[in-house]
Amino acid sequence: MAKERNPDAAVVSQSAQPGDARSIKKSGVLWGEFAIKSWLASCSFISVVTTIAIVVLLLKETLNFFEHVSPGEFFLGTTWTPLFEPSSFGVLPLVWGTLIVTIGAALLAIPTGLASAIYLSEYAPDRVRRTIKPVLELLAGIPTVVYGYFALTFVTPALRNIFPDIQVFNALSASIVVGIMVLPMVATMSDNALRAVPVSLRQGAYALGATSYEVTTRVVVPAGLSGVMASFLLAISRAIGETMAVTLAAGQTPNMSLSLFESIQTMTSYIVQVSLGDTPSGGVAYQTLFAVATLLFAITLVINIISQMILNRFREVYD
Amino acid sequence: MPLTTEQENRNLLKRHRKARFFALFCATITWSSVVLLAVLLYQVSIEGFRWLDWQFISSFPSRFPERAGIKSALVGTIWLISLVALISIPVGVSTALYLEEFAGNGKISKIIEVNIANLAGVPSIVYGILGLAIFVRFFALERSLISGALTMSLLILPVIIIASREAIKTVPQGIRNAAYSLGATKWQTTWAHVLPASFPGIMTGVILALSRAIGETAPLIMIGAMTFVAFLPEGPMDSFTAMPIQIYNWVSRPQEEFHQLAAAGIIVLLAVLLIMNATAIFIRNRTERRMK
Amino acid sequence: MKYPAALLNKSANVPLLLFVSLLLGSCSGQDESQEAGATDSGALSGVVSLDGSSTVYPISEAVAEEFLTVAPRVRVTVGVSGTGGGFKKFLAQETDINDASRPIKSSEMLEAEASGIEYLEIPVAYDGLSVVISSNNDFVDYLTVQELQLIWQPGSTVDSWDDIRPQWPSEPLRLYGPGTDSGTFDYFTETINGESGASRPDYTASEDDNVLVQGISGDEYALGFFGFAYYVENMDKLKVVPIDGGNGPVIPTETTINNGTYSPLSRPVFIYLNAASMARPEVKAFVDFYIENAGVLASEVGYIALPDDLYQQAKDKVSAL
């Protein structure tokens, strides 16, 4: 009946009745569907085109780079001094730096973010949630430069009180600050995911005598795992790609030491150093930037493929 | 052997105590983050308040700290974010809708999914290099607002897409089925039911994405945003500057007064961010409701 | 069920209106028009774009700011992509003038030839690279150029102060300096170690000289170098080391840098002009203004004026175009 039809579906013309295929075709609904579907599909292909463009851009110069420097030296060398004389092109210190900062940031942000999300969706009264969530999102918007200076002027001196040997540039500061930066991402997206879990599931568990802890850890979080894991992935991606805060907090000295108290350099920090710096284009030194960027791209690709495979195992669908 | 009543009660008490402790633990962590934010904001802005006045907002940059202001940067940022929102929100949400509602679960879909997740991890400077090569040089858009906006849109698109997809996924299939059973087409269902239901989640993604865009410096410098600009942009093809660039420039100067000016600039930036977030949050709160 | 019609809810529009009004406010054109004396440059209009070194930026900014008062309708923009990044844009003809804290490199010269770009090199000011120590350091009286080379050369084994002079304490030497892609680093390594980029890699590097100030001032056994302006602003926290370039130890001051006695660490900074851009009257007027006023403005922002005859030489170069 026309009355029960969705009043917002204004595309349907007056004369169409359910089942009257010829009239539906005449009313243009199906053409409209096709046009819209084409628009949506072309939007999706923008992302594919972007990736292709990035890969083409990076690969071209990377291949030039490998004409001058052997892949063996690049992938296995442990000294990275391409901008000094004499130069050396072992990329491992940069990979190590990226690893330290990303893992450190993830260790800080993921548990904290998830705990905050649980508090916001399961325990906090509505008013409290409505105030805190925007506050956390404000943390996400603070410019990365500010985080860098926060690390230098607050975090490192504070750390110095606990560890007197810590240097002015150090990896620990960078990890902490990047962790704070991606925390809101984890918290707010996980909160959304947890809230989307149907209330009936929780009620069923409570009815069986479960405590709130058991309901949360055994029912709600597993149900919302897809969204929660997506937030982890996004946070890690952001942490890997973070530049200015890391440069300001950890300095720019490629270093393979295990100590968190010394300056290190990440792949991303190096890329920015060269792009915005003084190196003339066309030389091997400039091409290093593309080689490092390609390596980073490849690493994130592998991580993402693995995570997609894991994620697909865990996805639960509720009706 | 079944437990005695006493054993059962003890067990129950232990579990409930654990639950209370857990709730307290989560609450503490959340409030600590809030405290940390307060500390950060205090640290950053304490120096800047002295310089924050109408003169600061309405002046162009200068080599004299007393005369310097953030007007061109503020307007540039607002222009930039508006353009970025206009471009990236429709494209991002459309992509998410296509991938969730219209595309199948085939190989192509999976490839696009991995692809987008990967793009989220590409450093912002690489987007700057891309933007320089494609928008500034190839499309000859010069070092204008539109080049900057297109570059930043590419940068934040993955965030919007991923967050929107998660939001759309949480809409119960039952709602869609009910609409189909009434004869609605796929798009009608999507537009009238799925989209409104997933709106809060989409807004979260938009907030996170635009917050990221407003604070980025490196890609903008790469595509040619200026630092000293003594006029206001009059259209998308004009040169521009942005607040993070100005802040970074002031903070790198030797004179202490410029550092304090930078702090004032940060306060203004955060204020813009707050207004932007408040708008989105308001929209989100109005459209949010728990799924039964 | 709330439809996207919630967007049309009136009260949600208040913050949006704020945005829109600021946008519209910006469309009303230039506000800061200081109508100076009616010279004929007041009628000039157009765009002059500069980019390049962050070291030279304060000077260019000062000139651009003052130029606004004589030619209010000319839009001058200054970017900070770095000397190298600026050259890339300059050689792609995207900028009219490149700020450079080092002379043009041979690879860049070749590219200019290949692209058919004719350029002019104009020195605009001096910067005195200052070697600094913490104000708590009481044993360093001066350093010779040879000692500096000993400390900073690639493969250097100097790890503590007594490796430089045996009478100094045997405390570890901690080095600080600008990053590898700054003109300051290039100049220092070329002058002290003989080749641009030649340096020991194990020092604390930072792009931001303020960070170096913080690091050195807090560390009694630290040694670093950066531009004169950063030393002048922090004289309470740092001591400058007199440098002996062969004629006795000299402290960098405005005088010693200007008359060349502080050597070899006083270096000129440049602007590079695109000869083709100079055909535009607004660019020519700007460049003339720059050379005329660089001396005065440079010292306002922490740099040192060149001797007058060098400015005259520059003017002659420009008018010979």
B209-221 pLDDT tens trace: 998 898 888 898 8
pLDDT of C254 reads: 87
Tokens of A90: 């072992």
Whether residue A56 is found in the same domain as residue A93: no
| Polymer length of chain C | 321
B-contacting residues in A 257-316 (Cβ below 8 Å): 268, 271-272, 275-276, 293, 296-297, 300-301, 303-305, 307-308
**What is the mean pLDDT of the segment spanning B182-207?**
86
Whether the per-residue pLDDT at C122 is higher than 70: the answer is yes
pLDDT of B187 reads: 84
Whether residue A97 is found in the same domain as residue A46: no
Domains of chain A: total: 2
| Residue C210 to residue B224, Cβ atoms within 8 A | no
Whether residue A176 is found in the same domain as residue A42: no
Dihedral angle over CA of B43, C224, C125, C280, nearest 10: -60
Whether the per-residue pLDDT at A66 is higher than 70: the answer is yes
Whether the per-residue pLDDT at B239 is higher than 90: the answer is no
Chain C CB contacts of A253 under 8 Å are: 201-205
pLDDT, one tens digit per residue, over B6-33 is: 888 888 899 999 999 999 999 999 998 8
Give strand pairing partners of A85. Answer: C198
Whether the per-residue pLDDT at A1 is higher than 50: the answer is no
Å between C158 CA and nearest CA of chain A: 18
What is the band of A17 on the pLDDT scale with cuts at 50, 70, 90?
low
Whether residue B34 is found in the same domain as residue B79: no
Residue A245: inside a domain? yes
Whether residue B128 is found in the same domain as residue B187: yes
Whether residue A124 is found in the same domain as residue A245: yes
Whether residue B163 is found in the same domain as residue B287: yes
Chain B CB contacts of C301 under 8 Å are: 63
| Residue B63 to residue C301, Cβ atoms within 8 A | yes
Whether residue A140 is found in the same domain as residue A272: yes
Whether residue A106 is found in the same domain as residue A51: no
Rg (CA), chain C: 24
Whether residue B119 is found in the same domain as residue B187: yes
Note the ipTM here.
0.81
Tokens of C245: 């370039």
Whether the per-residue pLDDT at C141 is higher than 80: the answer is yes
| Residue C204 to residue A280, Cβ atoms within 8 A | no
Any idea what DSSP says for residue C198?
A: B
Chain C CB contacts of A257 under 8 Å are: none
3-state DSSP call for residue C319? helix
The whole-angstrom separation of Cα A276 and Cα C81 is: 6
The whole-angstrom separation of Cα C99 and Cα C149 is: 29
Whether residue B14 is found in the same domain as residue B128: no
Chain B CB contacts of C33 under 8 Å are: none
Which string of DSSP letters, residue by residue, matches C82-106?
A: -HHHHHHHHHTT--SEEEESSPPPH
| Residue A199 to residue B291, Cβ atoms within 8 A | yes
Size of interface A-C (CB pairs under 8 A): 88
Whether residue B222 is found in the same domain as residue B285: yes
Chain A CB contacts of B157 under 8 Å are: 46-47, 50
Which is higher by pLDDT, B292 or C92?
A: C92
Whether residue A121 is found in the same domain as residue A186: yes
Whether residue B39 is found in the same domain as residue B96: no
Rg (CA), chain A: 26
pLDDT of C8 reads: 43
Whether the per-residue pLDDT at C307 is higher than 80: the answer is yes
Closest to C158 measured CA to CA, from C223, C107, C208: C223
Closest to C55 measured CA to CA, from C175, C211, C229: C229
pLDDT of A243 reads: 82
Which string of DSSP letters, residue by residue, matches B197-250?
A: HHHHHHHHHHHHHHHHHHT--HHHHHHT--SEE-S---STTS----HHHHHHHH
Tokens of A87: 């130069």
**By mean pLDDT, which of B83-97, C115-129, C210-224 is the weakest?**
C210-224
The whole-angstrom separation of Cα C296 and Cα A236 is: 51
**What is the mean pLDDT of the segment spanning C177-181?**
82
Residue A92: inside a domain? yes
What is the band of A319 on the pLDDT scale with cuts at 50, 70, 90?
very low
pLDDT of C5 reads: 43
Whether the per-residue pLDDT at C21 is higher than 60: the answer is no
CB burial readout B135-152, b (16+ within 10 A) else e: bbeeeebbbbbbbbbbbb
Average pLDDT, chain B: 87
Domains of chain B: total: 2
- Listed residues B16, B32, B51: the one ending a domain: B51
Give yes or no for A184 touching B (CB within 8 A): yes
What is the band of B284 on the pLDDT scale with cuts at 50, 70, 90?
confident
Give strand pairing partners of A142. Answer: none
Q: Is the sign of the CA dihedral A123, A127, A128, A131 positive or negative?
A: positive
What is the band of A18 on the pLDDT scale with cuts at 50, 70, 90?
low
For residue B49, the tally of other CB atoms under 10 A from its CB is 12
Q: Read off the CATH number of the domain in which B279 is found.
A: 1.10.3720.10
Chain B CB contacts of C17 under 8 Å are: none
pLDDT of A3 reads: 44
Whether the per-residue pLDDT at C38 is higher than 50: the answer is no
Whether residue B30 is found in the same domain as residue B112: no
pLDDT, one tens digit per residue, over A104-160 is: 999 999 999 999 999 999 898 989 888 888 888 877 778 888 888 888 888 888 888
pLDDT of B291 reads: 43
Whether residue A206 is found in the same domain as residue A242: yes
pLDDT of C60 reads: 94
3-state DSSP call for residue A106? helix
Domain that holds residue A117: 88-313
| Residue A120 to residue B30, Cβ atoms within 8 A | yes
Whether the per-residue pLDDT at C37 is higher than 70: the answer is no
**What is the mean pLDDT of the segment spanning C23-40?**
42
pLDDT of A23 reads: 58
Q: Are the beta carbons of B91 and A46 closer than 8 angstroms?
A: yes
Whether residue B188 is found in the same domain as residue B131: yes
Whether the per-residue pLDDT at C25 is higher than 50: the answer is no
Closest to A190 measured CA to CA, from B160, B163, B210: B163
Question: Could you give the count of Cα atoms lying within 13 Å of A132 in the half-sphere of its Cβ?
Answer: 28
Residue A75: inside a domain? no
Specify the amino acid at residue B55.
Q
Q: Are the beta carbons of A254 and A97 closer than 8 angstroms?
A: yes
Give strand pairing partners of C272. Answer: C98, C121
pLDDT of C131 reads: 93
Closest to A139 measured CA to CA, from A192, A106, A190, A180: A180
Whether residue B30 is found in the same domain as residue B64: no
Residue A15: inside a domain? no
Give strand pairing partners of A158. Answer: none
Average pLDDT, chain A: 83
The answer for residues whose C-beta is within 8 angstroms of residue B111's C-beta and 6 or more apart is: none
Domain that holds residue B29: 5-51
Rounded to whole angstroms, what are the CA distances from A277 to A285, A289, C53, C142, C241? Answer: 11, 11, 9, 32, 28
Whether residue B132 is found in the same domain as residue B235: yes
Rounded to whole angstroms, what are the CA distances from C247 to B129, C242, C264? Answer: 48, 11, 11
Whether residue B111 is found in the same domain as residue B23: no
Q: Please, which chains are in contact with B (at least 3 CB pairs closer than 8 A)?
A: A, C
Which is higher by pLDDT, C27 or C211?
A: C211
Residues of A with CB under 8 A from a CB of C: 8, 81, 83-86, 152, 167-169, 247-248, 251-253, 263, 273-283
pLDDT of A27 reads: 61
Q: Read off the CATH number of the domain in which A163 is found.
A: 1.10.3720.10
pLDDT of A10 reads: 46
pLDDT of B190 reads: 86
Share of chain B above pLDDT 70, in %: 98
Closest to B217 measured CA to CA, from A244, C209, C86, C210: A244
pLDDT, one tens digit per residue, over A274-299 is: 887 767 666 788 888 899 999 999 98
- The whole-model pTM stands at 0.82
pLDDT of C247 reads: 86
| Residue B231 to residue C32, Cβ atoms within 8 A | yes
Share of chain A above pLDDT 70, in %: 88
- Nearest neighbour of C64 by CB, restricted to B193, B230, B232: B230
**By mean pLDDT, which of A165-174, B88-97, C97-106 is the weakest?**
A165-174
**What is the mean pLDDT of the segment spanning B132-140?**
87
Whether residue A146 is found in the same domain as residue A267: yes
Whether residue A37 is found in the same domain as residue A185: no
Whether the per-residue pLDDT at B232 is higher than 70: the answer is yes
Chain A CB contacts of C203 under 8 Å are: 253
- Strands (DSSP E) contained in chain C are 46-52, 74-78, 97-100, 119-128, 130-134, 143-144, 174-178, 204-206, 222-226, 238-240, 243-244, 249-250, 266-274
Whether residue A30 is found in the same domain as residue A148: no
Dihedral angle over CA of C208, C212, C215, C217, nearest 10: -130
Q: Are the beta carbons of C111 and C91 closer than 8 angstroms?
A: yes
pLDDT of C3 reads: 38
Q: Are the beta carbons of C124 and C270 closer than 8 angstroms?
A: yes
The answer for residues whose C-beta is within 8 angstroms of residue B140's C-beta and 6 or more apart is: none
Which string of DSSP letters, residue by residue, matches B129-182?
A: HHHIIIIIIIS---SSHHHHHHHHHHHHHHHHHHHHHHHHHTS-HHHHHHHHHT
Å between B54 CA and nearest CA of chain C: 14
Whether residue A127 is found in the same domain as residue A34: no
- Nearest neighbour of B251 by CB, restricted to A57, A145, A237: A145
